[in-house]
Structure 1
Amino acid sequence: MAASPYSDLDRPPLSARALTRALVVPGALWSKLDVRAETGSTNADAAEAARQGAAEGLVVVAESQVAGRGRRDRQWTSPPRAGLTLSVLLRPVAANAERGWAPAPIGSIGWLSLLAGVALREAVIRVAGVDAELKWPNDLLVDGRKCAGILAEVSGDAVVIGIGLNVSTRAEELPETTGVPATSLRVAGAEDFDRDPLLRALLRSLDRWYGGWREAGGDAEMCGLLGEYQRGCATVGRAVRVLLPGGGELTGEAVAVDRDGQLVIRTEDGAHLPVSAGDVLHVR
């Protein structure tokens, strides 16, 4: 017999009906909210829905995800109902006549994972009352530890953005990591770790930032996204070592995030080199 979702009173289930009533409303980005008791991967589910022609604004939320993964196929695990595990389906390169959006340039879609980070940080600070920072390109840090990860994937003409946030995870439940140690909002002393208001705040923030980005034609500087990302980024101003996708590495000081969302590294010889992808290690 499956365990009752009410067996742990610190971790009540999400109400799909209440969330839909609050978020799938006229004028909002969100077209459908699908809350699943368990799934393999919300990103895989949303990508399949994209292939089947699902509209922009689909949100897939899982109370338990058994085959979640992050960048470089790293596993993402969390006890049932201890975190927020969701994916959103966006179609940034398609025109949206109802909202007056022209297609965003293909070269701008790399900003979407950074945009999701800005929205997530905003929601965590507002609802949970903890200080959070962004580690380029896709992590949310609390007290210097990883509290959330973001994974953006292209599926045809769609982009699926997956977010995994540790909310009520207890210290003994946190996964072992080979990089930045993990934490949760609970471990960090959050004022509130109720997932319902966190999810509402996150999706409303995503809607607002994505709408501004689309209205600006994918120009992150014009819509204020670039400035907001840099203000919340713990990587800028730090000595870093970047493990590049091709197997090499780059060391220096991270001095900026540029208009294309790339991390600009100033090397020892004074060169300024943009990095579009890689694992960033903060050097103490």
Structure 2
Amino acid sequence: MLDSPYTDLDRPPLSQEALTRALVRPEGLWSRLSVVDRTGSTNADLAQAARDGAREGAVLIAELQLAGRGRLGRVWTAPARSGLTFSVLLRPPVPVARQGWVTLLVALAAASAVRRVAGVDVRLKWPNDLLAGERKLAGVLAERVDSAVIVGMGLNVTVRSEELPVPTATSLSLENAECADRDPLIRAVLREIETHYREWVAAGGDPDACGLRPAYVAMSATIGRDVRVELPGERILEGRATGVDASGHLLVTADGVERAVSVGDVVHVRAT
């Protein structure tokens, strides 16, 4: 399923040189941008780079990822050049307790960029999915490596119905996007991430002072709905998702009691 019969005319490669010229500048967040034909995992590659002392702002884009994964080790696959598969290296100078917002920040930035460029009504499923309707369009995975945070994303762009890894997934093409060109999409996503990240860092990681929390809530497909939260040990929490707290935890109210659920606590969150 990873190899594709479609040609470069259908799915042209990204240009590292063009993207570097557009996105890497002395005063900007992005310090280095690389495009590789294939790799096992962009997150794993940047994690090693972080251990080796790479500076903040490294971006790695893979045309084909052979060992991609989502949260809890779930597999993420897509044919070569059918999507945007990339990771970024961040070293947020904010309190660790607020760094849980990194995943939500990147998801929000990507959703905002895709809505603007592609004209698709993207919504956010807490903690790390981008949805078109009820189908998954993209996933975000953040991992801490020493003092760094590696954030990876896989966005389905031109994946066709017969290439979808699961029937609950979708792509921009399948959603009749106004734009399914990966070049303007990745430019818009990285610029949006930079804007949100700089504002969040300037506010010391406070999601309210920089407007991050209200923006996330406004685009959420989870908040305001009844949810079933699957927790480790086959425990279940059912209630109404009412918001996210200052650490990015999901707030769920059940039987009049509000509980904060962290990303690390959750196996699945499903609307009921």
Alignment TM-score, normalising by the size of structure 2: 0.95
- State the distance in 2 between where 1:149 and 1:64 align: 16
- Number of the residue aligned with 1:263: 250
Alignment check: 8 A CA contact 1:89 1:161 kept: yes
- Number of the residue aligned with 2:28: 28
Unaligned runs of 5+ in 1: 93-102
1:56 CA drift (Å): 0.1
Instruction: Provide, for residues 72-114 of structure 1, a one-character-per-residue CA deviation record: whole Å limited to 9, x for no partner.
Output: 100000000000000000011xxxxxxxxxx310111100000
- State the distance in 1 between where 2:110 and 2:4 align: 29
- Number of the residue aligned with 2:11: 11
Alignment check: 8 A CA contact 1:166 1:183 kept: yes
- Number of the residue aligned with 1:68: 68
**Other structure's SS at 2:184 match:** helix
Structure-to-structure mapping, 1:7-156, within 5 angstroms? 7-92=7-92, 103-156=93-146
- Number of the residue aligned with 1:161: 151
- Number of the residue aligned with 1:282: 271
**Other structure's SS at 1:44 match:** helix
**Given residue 191 of structure 2, which amino acid in structure 1 is its aligned partner?**
R
Task: Tell me if 1:249 matches 2:236.
Answer: yes
Pair 253,87 (structure 1): closer, same or farther in 2 beyond 3 Å = same
- State the distance in 1 between where 2:41 and 2:199 align: 29
1:8 CA drift (Å): 3.5
Alignment check: 8 A CA contact 2:208 2:214 kept: yes
Unaligned runs of 5+ in 2: none
Task: Tell me if 1:273 matches 2:263.
Answer: no
- State the distance in 2 between where 1:17 and 1:140 align: 29
**Given residue 282 of structure 1, which amino acid in structure 2 is its aligned partner?**
A
- State the distance in 2 between where 1:70 and 1:57 align: 22
Structure-to-structure mapping, 1:189-204, within 5 angstroms? 189-204=176-191
Measured on the aligned residues, the alpha-carbon RMSD in Å equals 1.5
Pair 229,4 (structure 1): closer, same or farther in 2 beyond 3 Å = closer
- State the distance in 1 between where 2:179 and 2:21 align: 22
**Given residue 229 of structure 1, which amino acid in structure 2 is its aligned partner?**
Y
**Given residue 214 of structure 1, which amino acid in structure 2 is its aligned partner?**
V
Q: How many positions carry a matched residue from both structures?
A: 267
- State the distance in 2 between where 1:244 and 1:138 align: 16
Pair 49,239 (structure 1): closer, same or farther in 2 beyond 3 Å = same
1:4 CA drift (Å): 11
